[in-house]
C-alpha cells in the first residue's frame, strides 16, 4: 500500500508551498520514529534514573534527543534524496556479502526490538487485567498483525499519532498529581552530572536511545511524503519540511521521557523507594497518588507497547523487502514475511522466558551488538556522492555523524559488557 502511494506521488509534479498548512500536512513520519524513543525499554531506564537519582540525570534525555535528531535527520535525507530506504540502498550500493551480513543482523535486531515492545504491552495487560504474560503476548501479536495487514500506511500513521497523544496526555495528568521541583528539573536538564554508582543507568538511557530498526523505518516512511525526485529544489524543500517533522517529533519524545523521570523523582526518589520493574512502579504509584494514577500509568504503557510493536513490525518488513531490492509494501510477500518474522519469532521467544525483566535485558544486549553495523552503514551511504548525488553529507556533517556514532557504539558496548 505504501509502495502504491509512493508511485502515485512520484508521478505528480508537486509544487508545495512553505506555509503553516503545508508543514502540518508533512508531520507524521517523525512521530512513528518517536514511538521507538518512548518504548517500554526506555520507560524502565527512565524510572530507574528518576527513582535512584531524582532529577540529576535529566540531562541524559536532552543529550540523547540531540544525538537522535542528527542521526534520524540524516537517514531521512537518504530516503528523500534517493527514493530508497536504508535496506534498499545497502543492497544496491554495497557488496552483496557485506550488505547481506548487515541486513540479516538487522532482522535479528528487529526481532529483538519486537520482543521488548511485545513484552511491554504484555506487562501492561497483566497490570490492568491480570492477563498472563504469554497470553498478553498473543493478544498483542493478533492486534498488531490485524493493524498492519488490514490498514494503509496513512491509517496506521493516524493511529500512532493518537497513541502518542494518549501517552503524552497520560503523563501530563500524572504530573498534575505530584509536587515537582521545577528548579531542580531545570538544572537537571542542562547540567551533566554523573552521581556515584549511576554509570550503568546513564549508559542504558543514552545507549538505548538510537535503535537500529528506527533508522531503517525512518528512511522508508519519509517517502510517504515524497514529491519529485527529479526536481532538486523540491527535494531541498522537502528536506526542510522533514527537519521540522523530525525536530517536533523528537521534542515530543524528549518531553515524554522527561516526564517519566520527573514522575519517578517526585514519587519514588522523594519517598526513598527503589523500583526495579515496571509492574512494581504501578503497585507503588497507586498508594502514593491514588488508584487512577496507577491505572493511567499502565494504560500509557499499553499504548506505548502496542505502538512500538507496530513500528517494529513495519521496520522488519522494510528490512527484509530491502534485501530483495524492494520498498515496503504490506501486499508484497517479502514485506509480509519480514513483519511475520519480526513479530512471531519474538512471541515464540517470550514463551521460553520465565522472567520478563530478564527478557528486556536480553533484547537490549542484542541491540547493543548490532547497532554499530547499522549506524556506520548509514554514514557510509549518506557520505557517498555515488549514492546521494548533490545531497551528499558535507565533511563536517560526516565527522559529526562519526563522532555521535562512536559515542553511541561505545555506550552500547559498555552496556553489553555490564550485562555480561
CA angle 145, 151, 154 (to 5 degrees): 125
pLDDT level of residue 102 (50, 70, 90 thresholds): very high
Rounded to an integer, the average pLDDT of 141-168 is 95
Per-range mean pLDDT, top range of 100-109, 225-234, 365-374, 402-411: 100-109
Helices (H), 151-270: 153-176, 182-190, 199-207, 212-221, 232-264
Q: Output the pLDDT for position 208.
A: 67
Q: Output the pLDDT for position 393.
A: 97
Cα 183 to its chain centre, rounded Å, is: 29
pLDDT level of residue 21 (50, 70, 90 thresholds): low
DSSP string, 365-400: HHHHHHHHHHHHHHHHHHT-HHHHGGGPPPHHHHHH
Q: Are 306 and 144 in contact (CB under 8 A)?
A: yes
At 145, list the grid cell: 498483525
pLDDT higher at 162 or 48: 162
The residues near 415 (Cβ < 8 Å, ≥ 6 apart) are 200, 203, 204, 207, 208, 364, 368
How far is the C-alpha of 250 from the C-alpha of 248, rounded, in Å? 6
- Neighbour tally for 23: CB within 10 Å: 16
Q: Give yes or no for residue 108 having a pLDDT over 90.
A: yes
DSSP string, 185-219: HHHHHH-----TT-HHHHHHHHHTSS-HHHHHHHH
347-373: string of b/e by CB count within 10 Å (b at 16+)?
bebbeebeebeebbebbbbbbbebbbb
At 362, list the grid cell: 536480553
How far is the C-alpha of 213 from the C-alpha of 211, rounded, in Å? 6
Q: Output the pLDDT for position 228.
A: 59
Domain harbouring 294, CATH code: 1.20.1740.10
Question: What confidence tens digit (pLDDT) does each residue in 137-149 have?
Answer: 999 999 999 999 9
pLDDT level of residue 259 (50, 70, 90 thresholds): very high
Rounded to an integer, the average pLDDT of 36-46 is 87
What is the total count of domains within the chain? 1
pLDDT level of residue 5 (50, 70, 90 thresholds): very low
Structural domain of 114: 2-10+17-419
Predicted TM-score (pTM) of this structure = 0.91
How far is the C-alpha of 138 from the C-alpha of 135, rounded, in Å? 5
Q: Output the pLDDT for position 9.
A: 42
pLDDT level of residue 7 (50, 70, 90 thresholds): very low
Question: What confidence tens digit (pLDDT) does each residue in 388-411 have?
Answer: 999 999 999 999 999 999 998 888
Q: Output the pLDDT for position 12.
A: 42
Amino acid at each position: 500500500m505504501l509502495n502504491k502511494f509512493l508511485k502515485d506521488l512520484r508521478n505528480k509534479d508537486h509544487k508545495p508551498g512553505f506555509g503553516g498548512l503545508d508543514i502540518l500536512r508533512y508531520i507524521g513520519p517523525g512521530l512513528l520514529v518517536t514511538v521507538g524513543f518512548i518504548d517500554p525499554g526506555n520507560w524502565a531506564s527512565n524510572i530507574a534514573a528518576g527513582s535512584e537519582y531524582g532529577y540529576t540525570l535529566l540531562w541524559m534525555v536532552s543529550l540523547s534527543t540531540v544525538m537522535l535528531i542528527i542521526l534520524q535527520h540524516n537517514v531521512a535525507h537518504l530516503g528523500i534524496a534517493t527514493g530508497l530506504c536504508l535496506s534498499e540502498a545497502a543492497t544496491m550500493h554495497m557488496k552483496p556479502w557485506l550488505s547481506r551480513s548487515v541486513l540479516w543482523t538487522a532482522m535479528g535486531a528487529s526481532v529483538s526490538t519486537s520482543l521488548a515492545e511485545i513484552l511491554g504491552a504484555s506487562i501492561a495487560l497483566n497490570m490492568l487485567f491480570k492477563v498472563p504474560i504469554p497470553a498478553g503476548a498473543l493478544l498483542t501479536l493478533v492486534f498488531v498483525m490485524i493493524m498492519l495487514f488490514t490498514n494503509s500506511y496513512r491509517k496506521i500513521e493516524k493511529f500512532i499519532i493518537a497513541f502518542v497523544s494518549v501517552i503524552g496526555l497520560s503523563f501530563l495528568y500524572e504530573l498534575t498529581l505530584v509536587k515537582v521541583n521545577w528548579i531542580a528539573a531545570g538544572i537537571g536538564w542542562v547540567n551533566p552530572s554523573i552521581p556515584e554508582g549511576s554509570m550503568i543507568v546513564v549508559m542504558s538511557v543514552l545507549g538505548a536511545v538510537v535503535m537500529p530498526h528506527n533508522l531503517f523505518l525512518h528512511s522508508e516512511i519519509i517517502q510517504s511524503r515524497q514529491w519529485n525526485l527529479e526536481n532538486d529544489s523540491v527535494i531541498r524543500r522537502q528536506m526542510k519540511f522533514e527537519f521540522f517533522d523530525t525536530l517536533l517529533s523528537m521534542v515530543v519524545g524528549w518531553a515524554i521521557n522527561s516526564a517519566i523521570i520527573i514522575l519517578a523523582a517526585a514519587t519514588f526518589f522523594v519517598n526513598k523507594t527503589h523500583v526495579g520493574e515496571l509492574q512494581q512502579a504501578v503497585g507503588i504509584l497507586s498508594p502514593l497518588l491514588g488508584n487512577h494514577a496507577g491505572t493511567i500509568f499502565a494504560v500509557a504503557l499499553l499504548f506505548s507497547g502496542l505502538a512500538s510493536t507496530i513500528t517494529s513490525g513495519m521496520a522488519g518488513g522494510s528490512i527484509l523487502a530491502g534485501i530483495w531490492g524492494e520498498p515496503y509494501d504490506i501486499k508484497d510477500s517479502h514485506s509480509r514475511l519480514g513483519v511475520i518474522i519480526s513479530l512471531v519469532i519474538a512471541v515464540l521467544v517470550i514463551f521460553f522466558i520465565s522472567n520478563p525483566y530478564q527478557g528486556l535485558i536480553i533484547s537490549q544486549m542484542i541491540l547493543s551488538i548490532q547497532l554499530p553495523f547499522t549506524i556506520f552503514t548509514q554514514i557510509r551511504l549518506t557520505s557517498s556522492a555515488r549514492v546521494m548525488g548533490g545531497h551528499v553529507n558535507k565533511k563536517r556533517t560526516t565527522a559529526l555523524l562519526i563522532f555521535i556514532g562512536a559515542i553511541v557504539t561505545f555506550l552500547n558496548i559498555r552496556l553489553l559488557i555490564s550485562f555480561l
